[in-house]
Amino acid sequence: MQIEKETGVKSVNTGRFYSLEKLAINFQEHLNIIEDQLAFSDHNRDLYQAFKNILPISVENHGYVCLDYRNSLIAPSVVYFYDEDFVDYYIASNFDDFLNKLMSID
């Protein structure tokens, strides 16, 4: 899957799918590590707070395909969040559009 951001295009393997409980625990552990690393920077702390309203649905190494509830609690967009560069890449305006973009590797 190709996703676009003003900074360029990133190829994404949608990764492995886990139960939401396991995925949420893994994602929270990553956020806790990030929060500890950013504790001394007000700018980065604000950046971290912005990512608290996204829900991961798939994981790939340090990247997550997420439902993004920052702009809408009813119709979340889908983004790819990469925790090493603190960038979220836009994938789709809603979950149905995301599903339409998926391709089979068969």
Please write the tens of the pLDDT for every residue from 7-61.
Answer: 444 455 555 555 656 666 776 776 676 666 555 556 556 666 666 777 777 777 7
Cα gap 89→92, rounded to integer Å: 10
Cα gap 66→58, rounded to integer Å: 7
The answer to whether residue 19 sits within a structural domain is yes
Range of the domain at 23: 2-101
Angle (nearest 5°) at CA 95 between 89 and 101: 70
**Are residues 1 and 10 in contact, defined by beta-carbon separation less than 8 angstroms?**
no
The answer to whether residue 12 sits within a structural domain is yes
Alpha helices in the chain (DSSP H): 20-37, 42-50, 95-101
Number of domains in the chain: 1
The answer to whether residue 94 sits within a structural domain is yes
The answer to whether residue 61 sits within a structural domain is yes
The answer to whether residue 24 sits within a structural domain is yes
The answer to whether residue 68 sits within a structural domain is yes
The answer to whether residue 17 sits within a structural domain is yes
Its pTM stands at: 0.58
Structure tokens at 11: 């190829």
The answer to whether residue 106 sits within a structural domain is no
Structure tokens at 105: 């590797």
Please write the tens of the pLDDT for every residue from 79-101.
Answer: 988 767 767 789 999 989 998 88
Cα gap 29→41, rounded to integer Å: 20
